[in-house]
Structure 1
Amino acid sequence: MTAQDARHVPLNTAQKLAQDAAEAAETRAYLTHPDVVALRIERVRSQVDRMCWAGIVLGLAFTMTNVQGFASAGSPAWSLAWLAAWVLDPTVSLVLLAILRAEQVTARYQVQTGPWVRRAKWLTLVATYVMNTWASYAAGSLASIVLHSVPPLVVFVAAEAITDLRDKLTEAVGVAYSEAGGRPAAERPAVRRKLFADYLEDARSAWTSDVVISSGWVREVTGCSRGLAPRVARALADEVGGRP
C-alpha cells in the first residue's frame, strides 16, 4: 500500500526515507535510554542468578552422598551414626548458600563485605571438597578423584564468579547512565506522558497557511511516533480545511 500524507497525497521516496529515519531515531533513543538499558540488564542479571544457583545447588547435591560416606565411616545403615552423617553436608552447604545469598544483595548495591565473609565461604568450599574426595585420594583412584573433584570445584568457581558478575552488571547500569547523560532515578524529574491532544496542539501551533500537512511534517514539529502522526495530521487537516 502506497504511503500517503493526511491529504491522501502519495509520499515520494525522500519523504518516506525521512519518516523511516525519524522512526529509527526515536526507536534508538528509547533503546539507549538509561531506564531501558537498566531493565534489560536486570533481566540478564536474573537469568545469570537462576543458572548459577541451579548449578551450585546441583553440585552440592552431588557431593551429599560422598560426604555422608566420609562422615559415617562405615557405620551400619540406619544406625545413629549413619543417620547423623547425613546432617554434615547440609550443615556446610546451608552456611555456604546463606553467604552467597547475602552477597547477592551486597553485590547489587556494591557494598563491600568484611574479610570473614570470604574466609567463611572458602572454608565451607574447601571442607566440601576435602570430605567429597577423601575416599578417592585414600584409594588412589585417579578417575574417582577427577569425578569427585569436578562438582566441588565448579561450585567453588561459580561461587566466586557469581559475585563478580553481579558487581559488573551493576557497573554496567552505571555506565549506561553515564553514557546517556542520565541521572539517578531519584534525581530525574517526573515527565507527564504526552497525549493525542498535546501533539495536536503542538502541530496546530506550528502550522501556517503555506505548510502542507503531512505525517512527516507532524513528526518533525511534534516528535510523535510514526503510528500516531497520521492521526494528528488528519485531525489538523480537518480543522484547517474548514477555515476561510
Structure 2
Amino acid sequence: MTTPVTPQGQETVEGVAAYGRPSRRPTVPSTRADRLAREAAEAAEVRAYQTHPDVVALRVEQVRGQVDRLCWAGIMLGLAFTMTNVQQFAAAGATPWSLPWLAAWLLDPTVSLVLLAILRAEQVTARYQVQTGRWVRRAKWFTLAATYVMNTWASYAAGSLSGIVLHSVPPLVVFAAAEAITDLRDKLTDAVMAAFTNARTMTPLPDGQPVHEPRTEPRPARPSRRVGKRRTLFADYLADARAAWRPGVAVTPAWVRQVTTCSRGLSSRLSAALVAELESPAASAETPDEPESGVWQ
C-alpha cells in the first residue's frame, strides 16, 4: 500500500496511520504575541496561587517559626552567659563546693525560668493579638532588670568599664529580644489578616476554585449586658459594628475602630467579617431599600 502524499510532500494523517506510525501534522509557527500570551497566562496562574491567602498564611507561619527559633536561641545563649556572673554575685566569695556556693547556682535559673515562662506565654498571646495585663510586663522587666544588676554588680564595684560593657551586652540583648519578639509576632499576624482581608479583591484561581474568603463568625444572639466587667468577645464587636452600619457607609478598619473602640489588629478581622456579611445574598435580601427622601419608613 502506498502512502498518500500531499502536494507539498507531507504525509496525510490516513497514510501515516496505515503504517502504524505517529501522525505528524504540519505545525504552525507561533508568533511573538502568541508566546507572550502564553507567558502572561502562566504568570497569572502562578501569581493567583502565590497570592492566595492560604499560601501567604503558610509562608508567614514558616517565617514565624524561623523568627521564634532564632530569638529563642539568642535568649537562651544570653541567659547562659549571665549564669556564671550571677553565681559569683550570689556566692559572695564562698568556698567552692560548699553549701552556699552550690546554692548560689540556683539564683540565675530561678529568675531565668520565670522570664522564659512569661516569654512562652506571650508567644501564644501575641499570635492571636491578645493583650496581656500590666503585671505580665512588670514581671518581665523585673526579671530582666534583676539579671542585669546581678550580672554587672561586680564590674561596677571594681570600676571596670570594659567589664561593665562586656556584662551589659548579653542582658540588654535578651531584654531587646524579649520586647521585639512580641511585636514581631503581632505584625506577622497582621500580615496574615491582611492577606485574608484582601482576598475578596483577588481573581479566582484558574481551575475555577473560588478565592478563600475570610471566615465570618455566626450570628449568635447577643448576650445581655451584665453589671460589672466582662471580656468583650469577637461577636460583641461584630454586633456593634453591624448595628452602627448604614447604607452608603464604607466599612474600613478605621471606621470599625471608631464605632467599636476595638484594637487595631482586631479591626481588620471585624471589617472583613462585616463586609462578607453585607456582600452575602442573604444580607442583601434582608437590607431594605432606602427611600429617595432619605427618611426610613
TM norm structure 1:
0.72
Query: What displacement does 1:16 show?
Result: 1.7
Greater RCO (Cα-Cα under 8 Å, separation 6 or more): 1
Identity of aligned residues (%): 77
Q: Does 2:93 match 1:63?
A: no
Separation in 2, partners of 1:78, 1:43: 46
Separation in 2, partners of 1:124, 1:61: 15
Q: Does 2:160 match 1:141?
A: yes
Separation in 2, partners of 1:163, 1:58: 19
Query: Counterpart of 2:72?
Result: 53
- CA shift digits 1:186-234 (9 cap, x unpaired): 78xxxxxxxxxxxxxxxxxxxxxxxxxxxxxxxxxxxxxxxxxxxxxxx
Query: Counterpart of 1:184?
Result: 214
| Higher-helix-fraction structure | 1
Q: Does 2:103 match 1:81?
A: no
Q: Which moved more, 1:40-49 or 1:60-69?
A: 40-49
Separation in 2, partners of 1:160, 1:89: 20
- CA shift digits 1:38-97 (9 cap, x unpaired): 111111111111110000000000000000000000000000000000000001000000
Query: Counterpart of 1:26?
Result: 45
- CA shift digits 1:99-151 (9 cap, x unpaired): 00000000001111111110110010000000000000000100000000000
8 Å contact kept, 2:90–2:104: yes
**In the TM superposition, what are the counterparts of 1:1-244 in structure 2 within 5 Å?**
8-181=27-200, 183-184=213-214
Alignment: residue pair count: 182
Separation in 1, partners of 2:154, 2:161: 11
Query: What displacement does 1:8 show?
Result: 4.5
8 Å contact kept, 2:197–2:214: no
Q: Which moved more, 1:85-94 or 1:10-19?
A: 10-19
8 Å contact kept, 2:85–2:150: yes
Query: What displacement does 1:175 show?
Result: 1.1
Separation in 1, partners of 2:82, 2:91: 14
Q: Which moved more, 1:11-20 or 1:90-99?
A: 11-20
TM norm structure 2:
0.59
Separation in 1, partners of 2:27, 2:120: 61
Question: Structure 1 runs of 4+ off > 6 angstroms?
Answer: none
